[in-house]
Structure 1
Amino acid sequence: MKQFTLAAALALTAGIAHAQQDTITLGMVLEPPNLDPTAGAAAAIDEVVYANIFEGLTRFGPDGAVLPALAHSWDVSEDGTVYTFQLNEGVTFHDGTTMDADDVVFSLDRARAEDTTNAQKALFAGIENVEAVDPLTVRVTLAEPNGNLPFNLAWGDAVIVAPESIEQAATAPVGTGPFVFAEWLQGDRVTLTRNPDYWGEAPALAQATFKFIADPNAAFAAMMAGDVDAFPNFPAPETLAQFEADSRFKVIVGSTEGETILAMNNAEPPLDDIRLRKAIAHAINRQDIINGAMFGFGTPIGTHFAPHNPDYIDLTGLSEHDPEAAKALLAEVGEVRPLRLMLPPPSYARRGGEIIAAQLRSVGIETEISNLEWAQWLEQVFSGKDFDLTIVSHTEPADINIYARPDYYFQYDNPEFQALIAELGVTADPAKRSELNQAAQEMIARDYVNGYLFQLAKTGVADARIEGLWENAPTQANDLTAVRWVE
């Protein structure tokens, strides 16, 4: 009897250990301000909900390819102005309501409405009409041809939501994805559970918890203690060598779409003077920032474009580190008041800000640093435009078009650039698109709109038994659909 009891106990213990391997805890630096990707600009929103809770007609794959999602296929008219999307059958929202063409019409009309709160309204600007042909067919008519529409609809800002549940999306989101929102303990974590009625392939994970740990030292301690299983965007790159030397972990280094910039308020004095912006650009030593803030991880950039993109041109020479040129420009400008440098929580911003402040001081520009929490930064800097300088990574894919929006937070207003981006939007020829992309890169570099620092590296740490986490970050996401534990 004792032998049977011991065997049963061992079997039970093994079963519990095995069951634990279908849950995961991921670390994140920033807590999202809300959980509605269609009404917020913070990357942390998509890092929780993209492809997990919410889905769009299309989606980005781990290599950046645009893949089918809620739409299994689509056709394009000969003139390129009408897209017809065929939806998957049997898709339901987490509250049990059916997802059909009417929900797509609602979502896209809401995103492009005059009073929309969508942070990427420009993605939908060319849409003239959205109609439900039948429950599983949606027709999108454009004012002009746009070969980028499937790409635009893959963004987190373009996910499909339902009128019945959209009002609760900020705090209790209801989507169609493989995971269901379970709990948000603000200041600590968000928990998701497997969707038992998912229309697609069921995920291997039964539960996922996103744990918010802003402090790099605390992030290191949490990984070492096993309190988190993976930290896809690890904030303490100086410790990566320790993880590489420990067989319990694996270090995952890839690239991101994150152009890290010293953003400048172009519309407000004294930064409305291109000479001052150019002086700041020449005062910056990018490699020192990469070494000091990112411990060598990052690629120098001279414009707002990812170096891994085929259309990228290296314009770092236009703003090379040249303190004497910076001082000469400042002599032309005259006396400059101390500039307010507003820093959000990520370590690249806080560490980088201190380095940049010292570099600017060495040429005669004083700064006043304010460390802001993420919600403060979104309200004061991004929405309120109440700043002089700030440091942030723009992690949205191929987003140089933000410079065509005069009301965007750095307030660059150049009609010539706006016309260039408008032309890009209706151009399908790859060679011509490449030419326009390169012209756009050069224009903002020569206007010294911002200080272009580096392309953010994706430095992650995970338990060595976890597979399926993205190596690169073609969009701001912690896609869990392919994540599993292996022995």
Structure 2
Amino acid sequence: MFFRHRRLALISALAATAVVLSACSGSAEPGPSTGTGEPDSNATLHVGLVLEPTNLDIRHTSGAALEQILIDNIYEGLVSRTQENEIEGRLASDYEVSDDGLTYTFTLNDGVVFHDGTPLTSADVVSSYETVRTDATVQGNAEFASVASITAPDPTTVQIVLSAPNQNFLFALTGPAGLVFKTGDTTDLKTAENGTGPFTLSRWNKGSTITFARNDEYWGDPVSVAEVEFQYIPDFTAGVNAALAGDVDVLTAVDPNLASQLEDSGDFTLTKGRTTDKATLAFNNKKAPLDDVRVREALRLAIDHDALIEAVGAGTPLYGPIPELDPGYEDLSDVISYDPERAKELLAEAGQEDLDLTLTIPSFYGTTVPKVLISDFDKVGVNLEVDSVEFPTWLEDVYTNKDYDLSFVLHVEPRDFGNFANPDYYFGYDNAEVQDLYAQALAEVDPDASAKLLAQAARIVSEDHAADWLYNGETITAVSPIVSGFPEDSINSRINLADVTVSSAD
């Protein structure tokens, strides 16, 4: 089950975020998403996105393209998460976790109704979560592996009991696994919906737009726009042209190479948003000569990370496997630096002065990162060949068969440190101390204590040079001055539109 879940998650995550790495250069200055004038409650917000969902069935279809627009807007769970990845109540007005970390008790908000007018009760939560727990085809099934029971003591209370503590369980409920659906609903979720969120699905013009309408019967605070139209524009240049023509009020996933066009127009504010995207240069830890820590360290020392980030056009330095938005983050810049001379010394010590390596990379990532790595490695006597392959080939050769030297992908999932605690993962990294610390972190009921254990494990992983993290990805968003409250962080996985307003243009 682990491998099936991981494979689906990786496929969807890579497909959803490959777009941000195609650029070569560019810049954007952070700025507030602040509108001018009075909010227009009858306004339509036009948002440009890149990746369109293949269908709308978030229960059975993996993909950030679905989560990005459906969670919190159409569907809701007991809990959700902020842009900073902090957990907060949603359908649950309150929740408690027992001292032993095994029992989760949720109290539902009053007056919650599905879009078809049916009141939500705890029975709907139980049936939704039982389906996740028992049906391997449902998204989140793996996250419910430790769930022992799900019960409804009364119409407004839900109790979930785990067989073992799991620090990540509550966070899992902020994703597809935690969404609540009407018991026995016959809605065709591929093309329609029946959620509880502040928007309803108005129409879907496949290949073009998806439109949401304000849910005037929403149980919580009503949203401030009448409609949201998501325009799917997979071509970056076309997206910029649409923005400059006034066809969209917000353009997400702006190509850094094209950002200056929007900035220079004076019609948009550009924001840089934090993500959990880890631009990972994977080392095959089980394959010579990369099974030698000296070789792995030398490769990291050879990379001018600042220059690489400048070439990519967006990103911040990352020296370990946990990004800033995840528990356990620590600045690990003391572990590694740019030192090509020391890299040469280590390669000599390892008897690898004239080293030939191959970088296997999915072709949709472009050539910017490979070109920088070729140049940097050449300076320390490493000849890097690049094998640019179609994604299915990468999945087969690298991810499944582990037949590679180096690889590059953007690992976007939050809280995925467990990859380094799994010796069967394609990294091939096997460290018993890291595995033990990760197990302790999951079993630890105190979040702060758990984060400290994760930080310890992450430092070991970085000191072992199990991989290199070229940068922590950023997303560039262009926002019109008439728009206020549009999210900046984590929008490649979640766009909560609850606080967005659109003002009348002057």
TM-score (norm 1): 0.80
Q: Which secondary structure state, in structure 2, belongs to the residue aligned with residue 441 of structure 1?
A: helix
- 1:229 aligned to 246, 249, 263, which one? 249
- 1:359 aligned to 357, 362, 376, which one? 376
Aligned to 1:56: 77
The answer to whether the 8 Å contact 1:397/1:475 transfers is: no
The structure-2 alpha-carbon separation of the partners of 1:119 and 1:377, relative to structure 1 and needing over 3 Å to count, comes to farther
Higher relative contact order (CA 8 A, sep 6+): 2
Q: Which is further off, 379-388 or 125-134? A: 379-388
Question: How far did residue 477 of structure 1 move?
Answer: 0.9
Q: Which amino acid aligns with 2:154?
A: D
Q: Which amino acid aligns with 1:322?
A: D
Q: How many residues align?
A: 463
Q: Does 1:290 align with 2:309?
A: yes
The answer to whether the 8 Å contact 2:421/2:438 transfers is: yes
- 1:202 aligned to 222, 231, 237, which one? 222
Question: How far did residue 469 of structure 1 move?
Answer: 0.7
The answer to whether the 8 Å contact 1:230/1:462 transfers is: yes
Q: Which amino acid aligns with 2:311?
A: G
The answer to whether the 8 Å contact 2:147/2:160 transfers is: yes
Identity of aligned residues (%): 33
Q: Which is further off, 220-229 or 21-30? A: 21-30
The answer to whether the 8 Å contact 1:112/1:124 transfers is: yes
- 2:125 aligned to 90, 104, 108, which one? 104
Q: In 2, distance between residues paired with 1:54 and 1:401?
A: 28
Q: Does 1:133 align with 2:150?
A: no
The structure-2 alpha-carbon separation of the partners of 1:433 and 1:217, relative to structure 1 and needing over 3 Å to count, comes to same
The structure-2 alpha-carbon separation of the partners of 1:242 and 1:368, relative to structure 1 and needing over 3 Å to count, comes to closer
- 1:193 aligned to 205, 213, 232, which one? 213
Aligned to 1:419: 436
The answer to whether the 8 Å contact 1:33/1:42 transfers is: no
Q: Which is further off, 470-479 or 281-290? A: 470-479
Instruction: Spell out, residue by residue over 1:3-27, the C-alpha distance to the aligned partner (whole angstroms, 9 max, x if none).
Output: xxxxxxxxxxxxxxx9896212212
Aligned to 2:329: 312
The answer to whether the 8 Å contact 1:110/1:116 transfers is: no
Q: Superposed, which structure 2 residues align to 1:243-282 within 5 Å?
A: 243-266=262-285, 274=293, 276-282=295-301
Q: Does 1:403 align with 2:420?
A: yes
Q: In 1, distance between residues paired with 2:430 and 2:188?
A: 36
The structure-2 alpha-carbon separation of the partners of 1:196 and 1:265, relative to structure 1 and needing over 3 Å to count, comes to farther
Q: Which secondary structure state, in structure 1, belongs to the residue aligned with residue 382 of structure 2?
A: coil
Instruction: Spell out, residue by residue over 1:32-74, the C-alpha distance to the aligned partner (whole angstroms, 9 max, x if none).
Output: 4554445555433321222112211111134443221111112
Aligned to 1:154: 174
The answer to whether the 8 Å contact 2:240/2:262 transfers is: no
Aligned to 1:6: none
Q: Does 1:86 align with 2:107?
A: yes
Q: Which amino acid aligns with 1:454?
A: Y
Q: Which is further off, 444-453 or 352-361? A: 352-361
The answer to whether the 8 Å contact 2:167/2:450 transfers is: no
Q: In 1, distance between residues paired with 2:333 and 2:406?
A: 20
Aligned to 2:18: none
Instruction: Spell out, residue by residue over 1:405-443, the C-alpha distance to the aligned partner (whole angstroms, 9 max, x if none).
Output: 445554544443222112112223465334312212112
Q: In 2, distance between residues paired with 1:384 and 1:325?
A: 33
- 2:362 aligned to 330, 343, 348, which one? 343
Question: How far did residue 287 of structure 1 move?
Answer: 0.9
The structure-2 alpha-carbon separation of the partners of 1:378 and 1:207, relative to structure 1 and needing over 3 Å to count, comes to farther
Q: Which is further off, 192-201 or 157-166? A: 157-166
Aligned to 2:68: 47
For structure 2, the residue ranges without an aligned partner over 5 or more in a row are 1-38
Instruction: Spell out, residue by residue over 1:245-302, the C-alpha distance to the aligned partner (whole angstroms, 9 max, x if none).
Output: 44422222332232322234556677566555444323322111110011xx422111
Q: In 1, distance between residues paired with 2:53 and 2:296?
A: 32
Q: In 2, distance between residues paired with 1:128 and 1:88?
A: 25
Aligned to 2:28: none
Q: Does 1:70 align with 2:87?
A: no
Q: Superposed, which structure 2 residues align to 1:378-397 within 5 Å?
A: 389-397=406-414
The structure-2 alpha-carbon separation of the partners of 1:429 and 1:48, relative to structure 1 and needing over 3 Å to count, comes to closer
The answer to whether the 8 Å contact 1:31/1:44 transfers is: yes
Q: In 1, distance between residues paired with 2:166 and 2:463?
A: 28
The answer to whether the 8 Å contact 1:189/1:210 transfers is: yes
Q: In 2, distance between residues paired with 1:448 and 1:319?
A: 9
The answer to whether the 8 Å contact 1:76/1:83 transfers is: yes
The answer to whether the 8 Å contact 2:105/2:160 transfers is: yes
Q: CA RMSD in A?
A: 3.7
Q: Which secondary structure state, in structure 1, belongs to the residue aligned with residue 335 of structure 2?
A: helix
Q: Which is further off, 476-485 or 307-316? A: 307-316
Q: Which secondary structure state, in structure 1, belongs to the residue aligned with residue 469 of structure 2?
A: strand
Q: Which amino acid aligns with 1:450?
A: A
Q: In 1, distance between residues paired with 2:135 and 2:422?
A: 15
The answer to whether the 8 Å contact 1:303/1:445 transfers is: yes
Aligned to 1:124: 144
Q: In 1, distance between residues paired with 2:186 and 2:373?
A: 42
Q: In 2, distance between residues paired with 1:22 and 1:467?
A: 13
Q: In 1, distance between residues paired with 2:428 and 2:218?
A: 43
The answer to whether the 8 Å contact 2:139/2:176 transfers is: no
For structure 1, the residue ranges without an aligned partner over 5 or more in a row are 1-17
Question: How far did residue 95 of structure 1 move?
Answer: 4.9
The answer to whether the 8 Å contact 1:282/1:320 transfers is: yes
TM-score (norm 2): 0.78
Q: In 2, distance between residues paired with 1:66 and 1:468?
A: 20
Aligned to 2:445: 428
The structure-2 alpha-carbon separation of the partners of 1:311 and 1:133, relative to structure 1 and needing over 3 Å to count, comes to same
Q: Which is further off, 441-450 or 205-214? A: 205-214
Instruction: Spell out, residue by residue over 1:117-150, the C-alpha distance to the aligned partner (whole angstroms, 9 max, x if none).
Output: 53683x4344322112233221111234456544
Q: Which is further off, 405-414 or 284-293? A: 405-414
Aligned to 2:237: 217
The answer to whether the 8 Å contact 2:317/2:470 transfers is: yes
Q: In 2, distance between residues paired with 1:372 and 1:30?
A: 18
The structure-2 alpha-carbon separation of the partners of 1:145 and 1:308, relative to structure 1 and needing over 3 Å to count, comes to closer
Q: Which secondary structure state, in structure 2, belongs to the residue aligned with residue 299 of structure 1?
A: coil
Q: Does 1:444 align with 2:464?
A: no
Aligned to 1:179: 199
